[in-house]
């Protein structure tokens, strides 16, 4: 059990229990021993191992990314010793080992292969090292709740003399303690804290700013050129708005944005006082640019999203996550709230903080609505079901995903929008989703008490005095489209839908493989599905004219909806022929604009919601 104290097997049974946990009871060391081979070496020293044999295990998943990832598969070598004597290790299951009984101290040494260029695991080469603790640090059973230390060491060799460390792990104390951005001893109050501070090591660029008096850093690894002043200023506005939304002080003493800039990439993962981000280097604000590019706007939204998680999931948690069980799936129907509400606020924070204009926000909102409307899965799966099945569906999407599932991120953001506008409209602007989030922060974020499955509804009813069960039943457990047109109209906005273009459509999604066009997804009830085309088919010709990455769209533009065309395609190594009757482009692209006849109450609601235009 967490926090249990084990006695060394050969010590007197009447020894005095220490008054405070021994910081050296569990001590980790991690060294990038072979960057060229992508290998970290990890050592664990356990001063007093369990008398019946110490058990250790590696998490099967990382909080914030809801799929079993089985990090233990990357351990390529493991051994244990008691002084100079080898200690047998028995593999108990896919991620658990048990050492034979020994007097101690017990040292466990193992190598971790680190070549996952993502925000979830570990990555190491000759340019940098990155790791999440959940993918490299074995948990010492029985000591989960005790303080521990970790000695972060540099790789050997002159080539690495400029490397330094970026993390929000607290620096250690005493001999060998790390200095800020240096190698050496760091500490954590528990295993849960140890694995909730990702670490970057290398020759990164570092930028700093303060938000509401709290130091913030941005560490960027990878080749990039950047308008650092603009990035820091924009992030400062976003962070300050979020801190003030929930109320000062911020729930951390300092905050770190860890950014890996690559040629093509996107991702983020939240932690208690930092976030790991993966972006394309072109997503960063270019020096001298006078306009905010779509790419940079997207990156700002990603930073905003992960920062909002500092409250909404890291501290305001579903009851199913209190505590986390990192050995198996932790099911909840509330991911729509923790990811969806966060997805709603990530762009909302940009406009409310003044980083983007109101018209830009309405375009982003229309894009989210369009994304949801283009998936037939929204009519089959509720966001509650999507949340519960994230482990087997959302994080493991296949070619049928658009037809079968709905995203609890995007549809969840629309549920949050609908709830916010419902509260504002019914209370005449007196209550909003902001009040619900502050109530959740007070009742759950500051107490550590998990949010029950109906907790968001109860909080919304408590702050508004409204009965909202019907709204939540329809919005989170139903599959009907949300009444967004009506809700936006109450704020003086018109939501309209139009076709994305005039050309007829096949009803497929494709990917280019060189000059070849491969069908990746076939949409429900579309022309291609009716004709028998399938995901994986490679389109060869349309009406005897070759289909390539550059010719498919022009060929379709020369046809009309209702025309029948002949398509040749390879399925595996077989050439097949299909007769396809083309469909008109669906009317599913959202547009939001100011209503021409909005009254004063609607304009006032809009200003309260988004600020002055």
Average pLDDT over residues 206-230: 97
pLDDT digits (tens, 9 = 90+) for 14-55: 333 333 434 457 999 999 999 999 999 999 999 999 999 999
Q: Verify cis geometry, omega within 30 degrees of 0, for the bond prior to 323.
A: yes
pLDDT digits (tens, 9 = 90+) for 436-486: 999 999 999 999 999 999 999 999 999 999 999 999 999 999 999 999 999
CA distance 320 to 215: 32
Is it the case that residue 3 has pLDDT exceeding 50?
no
Question: Quick check: 46 and 105 in contact, CB under 8 A?
Answer: yes
HSE at residue 492, side-chain half, CA atoms within 13 A, is 18
**CA 602 to centroid of chain Cα atoms:** 35
Instruction: Kindly indicate the confidence band of residue 598, based on its pLDDT and cuts at 50, 70 and 90.
Output: confident
Pick the CATH number of 204-299 from 1.10.390.10, 1.20.272.10, 1.10.760.10, 1.10.10.10: 1.10.390.10
Residue 13 pLDDT? 31
- Contacts of residues 245-252 at CB distance under 8 Å and 24 or more positions apart, as own/partner, are 245/434, 245/437, 245/438, 246/311, 246/437, 246/438, 246/441, 246/445, 247/438, 247/441, 248/212, 249/212, 249/214, 250/211, 250/212, 250/214, 250/310, 251/310, 251/311, 251/315, 251/445, 252/168, 252/214, 252/310
Give ∠ CA 527-374-551 in degrees, rounded to 5.
50
Instruction: State the distance between the two ends of the chain, measured CA to CA, in whole angstroms.
Output: 56
Average pLDDT over residues 350-369: 98
Do 311-491+595-613 and 26-202 have the same topology in CATH?
no
Residue 589 pLDDT? 97
CA distance 437 to 445: 10
Region of 142 please: left (phi>0), alpha (psi -120 to 50) or beta: left
pLDDT digits (tens, 9 = 90+) for 392-445: 999 999 999 999 999 999 999 999 999 999 999 999 999 999 999 999 999 999
Residue 262 pLDDT? 97
Contacts of 450 (CB under 8 A, 6+ apart): 317, 318, 319, 320, 321, 322, 444
Using CA atoms, how far residue 94 sits from 52, 60, 75, 130, 367, in Å, is 21, 9, 11, 24, 42
Average model confidence (pLDDT) across the chain: 94
Query: What is the 3 state secondary structure string of 121-181?
Result: CEEECCCEEEECHHHCCCEECCCCCCCEEEEECCCCCHHHCCCEEECCCCECCCCCECCCC
Question: Quick check: 331 and 301 in contact, CB under 8 A?
Answer: no
Using CA atoms, how far residue 554 sits from 200, 390, 548, 559, in Å, is 47, 38, 10, 9
**Phi then psi dihedrals of residue 351, to 5 deg:** -80, -40
pLDDT digits (tens, 9 = 90+) for 77-122: 999 999 889 999 999 999 999 999 998 899 999 999 999 999 999 9
Question: Quick check: 150 and 27 in contact, CB under 8 A?
Answer: yes
Residue 24 pLDDT? 53
Q: CATH second-level architecture of 508-585? A: Roll (2.30)
Instruction: Kindly indicate the confidence band of residue 612, based on its pLDDT and cuts at 50, 70 and 90.
Output: confident
Pick the CATH number of 311-491+595-613 from 1.10.390.10, 1.20.1080.10, 3.30.70.20, 1.10.530.10: 1.10.390.10
Is it the case that residue 7 has pLDDT exceeding 60?
no
Domain 26-202 has CATH 2.60.40.3650: yes
Residue 19 pLDDT? 35
Q: Which residue has the higher pLDDT, 543 or 613?
A: 543
Is it the case that residue 523 has pLDDT exceeding 90?
yes
Average pLDDT over residues 45-70: 97
Rounded to two decimals, what is the model's pTM? 0.94
Residue 395 pLDDT? 94
Question: Quick check: 281 and 223 in contact, CB under 8 A?
Answer: yes
User: Domain extents for the chain?
Assistant: 26-202, 204-299, 311-491+595-613, 508-585
Residue 104 pLDDT? 82
CA distance 160 to 158: 5
How would DSSP label each residue in 434-501? HHHHHHHIIIIITT-PPBPTTHHHHHHHHHH----HHHHHHHHH--SPP-HHHHHHTTTEEEEEEES-
Is it the case that residue 1 has pLDDT exceeding 90?
no
């Amino acid at each position: 059990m967490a926090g249990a104290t084990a006695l060394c097997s050969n010590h007197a049974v009447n020894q005095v229990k220490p008054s405070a946990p021994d910081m050296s009871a569990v001590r980790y060391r991690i060294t990038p021993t072979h960057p060229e081979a992508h290998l970290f070496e990890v050592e664990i020293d356990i001063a007093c191992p369990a008398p019946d044999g110490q058990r250790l295990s590696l998490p099967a998943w990382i909080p914030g990314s809801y799929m079993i990832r089985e990090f233990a598969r990357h351990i390529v070598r493991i051994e244990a010793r008691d002084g100079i004597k080898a200690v047998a290790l028995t593999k108990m299951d896919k991620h658990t080992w048990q050492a034979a009984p020994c007097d101690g101290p017990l040292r466990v040494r193992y190598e971790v292969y680190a070549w996952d260029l993502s925000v979830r695991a570990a990555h190491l080469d000759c340019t940098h090292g990155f790791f999440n603790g959940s993918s490299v640090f074995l948990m010492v059973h029985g000591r989960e709740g005790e303080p521990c230390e970790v000695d972060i060491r540099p790789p050997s060799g002159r080539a690495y003399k400029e490397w330094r460390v970026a993390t929000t792990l607290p620096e250690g104390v005493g001999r060998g303690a790390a200095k800020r951005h240096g190698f050496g001893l760091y500490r954590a109050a528990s295993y849960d804290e140890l694995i909730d501070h990702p670490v970057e090591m290398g020759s990164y660029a570092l930028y700093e700013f303060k938000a509401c008096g709290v130091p913030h850093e941005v560490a960027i690894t990878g080749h990039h050129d950047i308008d650092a002043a603009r990035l820091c200023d924009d992030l400062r506005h976003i962070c300050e708005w979020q801190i003030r939304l929930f109320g000062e002080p911020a729930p951390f003493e300092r905050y770190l944005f860890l950014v890996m800039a690559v040629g093509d990439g996107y991702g983020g993962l939240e932690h208690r006082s930092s976030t790991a981000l993966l972006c394309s280097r072109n997503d960063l604000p270019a020096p001298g640019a006078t306009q905010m590019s779509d790419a940079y706007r997207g990156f700002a939204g990603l930073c905003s999203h992960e920062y909002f998680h500092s409250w909404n999931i890291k501290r305001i948690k579903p009851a199913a996550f209190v505590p986390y069980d990192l050995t198996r799936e932790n099911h909840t129907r509330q991911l729509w709230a923790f990811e969806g509400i966060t997805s709603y606020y990530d762009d909302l924070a940009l406009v409310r903080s003044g980083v983007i204009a109101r018209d830009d926000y309405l375009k982003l909102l229309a894009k989210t609505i369009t994304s949801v409307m283009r998936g037939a899965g929204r009519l089959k799966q509720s966001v509650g079901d999507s949340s519960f099945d994230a482990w087997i569906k959302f994080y493991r999407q296949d070619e049928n995903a658009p037809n079968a599932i709905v995203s609890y991120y995007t549809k969840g953001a629309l549920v949050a929008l609908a709830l916010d506008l419902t509260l504002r409209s019914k209370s005449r602007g007196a209550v909003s989703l902001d009040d619900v989030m502050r109530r959740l922060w007070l009742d759950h974020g500051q107490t550590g008490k998990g949010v029950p499955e109906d907790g968001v509804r109860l909080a919304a009813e408590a702050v508004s005095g409204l009965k909202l069960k019907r709204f939540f039943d329809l919005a989170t457990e139903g599959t009907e489209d949300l009444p967004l047109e009506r809700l936006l109209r109450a704020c003086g906005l018109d939501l309209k839908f139009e076709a994305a273009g005039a050309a007829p459509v096949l009803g497929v999604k494709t990917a280019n493989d060189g000059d070849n066009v491969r069908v990746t997804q076939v949409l429900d009830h579309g022309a291609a599905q009716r004709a028998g085309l399938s995901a994986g088919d490679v389109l060869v010709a349309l009406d005897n004219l070759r289909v390539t990455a550059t010719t498919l769209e022009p060929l379709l533009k020369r046809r009309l909806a209702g025309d029948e065309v002949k398509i040749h395609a390879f399925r595996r190594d077989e050439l097949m022929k299909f007769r396809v009757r083309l469909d008109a482009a669906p009317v599913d692209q959202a547009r939001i604009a100011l209503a021409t006849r909005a009254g004063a109450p609607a304009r006032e609601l809009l200003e309260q919601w988004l600020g002055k235009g």
